[in-house]
């Protein structure tokens, strides 16, 4: 294939469409990244789904159902985008179920209180938006278009989380404690969502050259911290980082050392909920098999009738 | 699932007067389910007033390899554009 032509399109800020020629490595990297993004969306339904039956009001419950439904939709947009590159959906799901492909480490943490649902919307979806907005301009046409849809919907996710957090932060002392406790537990895992630091992120340079990645992990992390710390102050909550301070000279927040050992441990499968998340996913897939089989049987019966008629 | 549930391309008309635009794709066992799934997947926020679903295998696409040759016939016909023609500044309403 003509790699120069491909690189010209990418360098000229053009989009690579499914039937264009592209280097094998580009195709493989994109399929893996989009698939793992899709896996994260559908696994991400679990921590919040945990609170649907116990949401504190009908309003919160309706919002949460809509949000979790969106996560399912985001997964489907992304699996669809991966398929335009030649991936097979069954195979992708199989890779998730057998642990050969990963999903974001953030979803391996438990949601032990209602405030965790608020914190996830505010922090986890906030970090996801920071990551996903640049992807709306990435070199892969189908991925970029899926991201535009996702980002539009994600904004509701973050706002509902911040609103719920505001209510708790301005509530009774017990509610305030709940809100602070959720921030304490979700802050550092959220910072790790941006991936390893730049000096430990071997694939970043290639992804940048291919126009898949636009900003480095550390750049995006810094933006997230700068955007989020004032929001925490507004809520009257304390970010659990004794080293955190605003550097007046740069206008950026300086923050403490990130625990990467925990990141890699959770990645390897040793987080608090890894086993539970995967088991639940596999069970849901297996228990839904009869629905897929019934739908297929009905479709082939109807098709046979049409042929006969 | 992929073998039993064919892939469908989804086109959504966002409002009356606009054309259907490709929104994405999904798997469904038949056309009826494809329409319903498309509604749930692509119009959760009233993004559409009409949906088309087409089996992906029924879409015939031009090949990007032939792009140059295929679209070449219109490449050398700038006279099809109004800007090709010089009109004196003094002439208006043209």
pLDDT at B69: 82
> What is the mean predicted confidence (pLDDT) over A268-277?
97
Average pLDDT of chain A to the nearest whole number: 96
Query: Residue B58: which of B5, B6, B1 has the closest Cα?
Result: B6
Spell out where A172-301 has E strands: 245-247, 252-254
Query: In Å, how far is B4's CA from the nearest CA of chain A?
Result: 6
pLDDT at B75: 79
Q: Pairing relation of β-strands A245-247 and B50-55?
A: unpaired
pLDDT at A24: 96
The highest-confidence range among A5-9, A16-20, A67-71, by mean pLDDT, is A67-71
Written as six digits, the tokens of A247 are 């550097």
pLDDT at A26: 97
> What is the mean predicted confidence (pLDDT) over A67-74?
97
pLDDT surpassing 80 at residue B64: no
Written as six digits, the tokens of A129 are 């938006």
Chain B residues within 8 A (CB-CB) of chain A? 1-5, 7, 24-30, 33, 40-41, 44-45, 61, 63-65
Quote the ipTM score: 0.85
The helix or strand, by DSSP H or E, that contains position B39, with its residue range, turns out to be helix B31-42
pLDDT at A30: 97
pLDDT at B42: 96
- Give the integer Cα–Cα distance in Å for A48 and A50: 5
Query: Considering only CB atoms, which chain B residues are within 8 Å of A296?
Result: 4-5, 29
> What is the mean predicted confidence (pLDDT) over A149-165?
95
Share of chain A above pLDDT 90, in %: 94
Query: Considering only CB atoms, which chain B residues are within 8 Å of A14?
Result: none
Which residue of B lies nearest to A93 if distances are taken between CA atoms? B1
Contact B30 A299 (CB under 8 A): yes
Spatial contact of A15 and A145, defined as CB atoms under 8 Å apart: no
pLDDT at A253: 98
Query: In Å, how far is B51's CA from the nearest CA of chain A?
Result: 16
pLDDT at B62: 87
Query: 3-state class of A243 per DSSP?
Result: coil
- Give the integer Cα–Cα distance in Å for A218 and A237: 24
pLDDT surpassing 80 at residue A39: yes
Spell out where B1-90 has E strands: 7-13, 20-27, 50-55
pLDDT band at B71 (very low <50, low <70, confident <90, very high): confident
pLDDT surpassing 90 at residue A75: yes
Query: In Å, how far is B74's CA from the nearest CA of chain A?
Result: 22
Q: At what angle do helices A217-235 and A173-192 cross, to 10 degrees?
A: 170
CB proximity A303 to B under 8 Å: yes
pLDDT surpassing 80 at residue B3: no
> What is the mean predicted confidence (pLDDT) over A75-99?
96
pLDDT surpassing 90 at residue B63: no
pLDDT band at A203 (very low <50, low <70, confident <90, very high): confident
pLDDT band at A128 (very low <50, low <70, confident <90, very high): very high
**A68-82, A102-116, A214-228, B57-71: the lowest-pLDDT one:** B57-71
pLDDT at B72: 84
Contact B33 A83 (CB under 8 A): no
pTM over the 0.95 mark: no
Question: Which of A76, A77, A296 is nearest residue B4 as measured by Cβ atoms?
Answer: A296
pLDDT surpassing 60 at residue B2: no
Query: In Å, how far is A183's CA from the nearest CA of chain B?
Result: 31
Spatial contact of A217 and A223, defined as CB atoms under 8 Å apart: no
Query: 3-state class of B21 per DSSP?
Result: strand
Spatial contact of A35 and A82, defined as CB atoms under 8 Å apart: yes
B7-76 is classed CATH 3.40.30.10: no
> What is the mean predicted confidence (pLDDT) over A58-77?
97
The answer for residues whose C-beta is within 8 angstroms of residue A207's C-beta and 6 or more apart is A29, A213
pLDDT surpassing 80 at residue B67: no
φ and ψ at residue A247, rounded to 5 degrees:
-85, 110
Distances (CA, A) of A50 to A114, A163, A217: 10, 20, 30
Written as six digits, the tokens of A203 are 């694939």
């Amino acid at each position: 294939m003509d790699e120069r032509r491909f690189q010209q399109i990418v360098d000229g800020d053009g989009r690579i469409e499914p039937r264009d020629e592209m280097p094998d490595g580009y195709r493989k990297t994109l399929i893996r990244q989009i698939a793992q993004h899709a896996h994260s969306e559908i696994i991400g339904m679990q921590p919040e789904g945990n609170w649907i039956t116990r949401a504190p009001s009908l309003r919160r419950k309706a919002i949460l159902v809509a949000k979790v439904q969106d996560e399912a939709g985001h997964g489907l947009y992304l699996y669809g985008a991966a398929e335009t590159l030649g991936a097979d959906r069954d195979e992708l799901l199989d890779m998730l179920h057998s642990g050969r492909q990963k999903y974001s480490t953030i979803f391996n943490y438990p949601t032990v209180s209602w405030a965790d649902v608020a914190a996830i919307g505010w922090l986890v979806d906030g970090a996801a938006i920071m990551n996903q907005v640049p992807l709306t301009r990435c070199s892969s046409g189908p991925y970029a278009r899926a991201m535009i849809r996702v980002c539009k919907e994600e904004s509701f996710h973050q706002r509902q989380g911040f609103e719920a957090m505001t209510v708790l932060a301005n509530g009774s002392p017990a509610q305030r404690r709940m809100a602070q406790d959720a921030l304490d537990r979700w802050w550092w895992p959220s910072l790790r969502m941006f991936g390893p630091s730049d000096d430990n992120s071997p694939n970043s340079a290639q992804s940048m050259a291919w126009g898949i990645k636009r900003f480095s992990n550390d750049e995006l992390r810094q933006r997230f911290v700068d955007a989020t710390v004032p929001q925490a102050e507004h809520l009257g909550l304390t970010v659990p980082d004794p080293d955190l301070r605003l550097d007046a000279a740069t206008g950026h927040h300086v923050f403490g050392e990130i625990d990467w050992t925990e990141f890699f441990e959770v990645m390897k499968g040793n987080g608090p909920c890894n086993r539970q998340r995967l088991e639940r996913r596999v069970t849901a897939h297996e228990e839904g098999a009869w629905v897929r089989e019934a739908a297929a049987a009905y479709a082939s019966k109807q098709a046979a009738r049409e042929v006969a008629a | 699932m992929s073998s039993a549930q064919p892939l469908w391309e989804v086109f959504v008309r966002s409002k009356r007067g606009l054309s259907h635009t490709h929104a994405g794709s999904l798997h469904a066992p038949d056309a009826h389910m494809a329409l319903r799934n498309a509604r749930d997947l692509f119009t959760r926020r009233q993004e559409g007033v009409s949906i088309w679903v087409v089996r992906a295998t029924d879409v015939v696409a031009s090949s990007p390899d032939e792009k140059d040759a295929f679209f070449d016939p219109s490449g050398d016909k700038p006279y099809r554009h109004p800007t090709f023609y010089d009109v004196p500044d003094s002439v208006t309403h043209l």
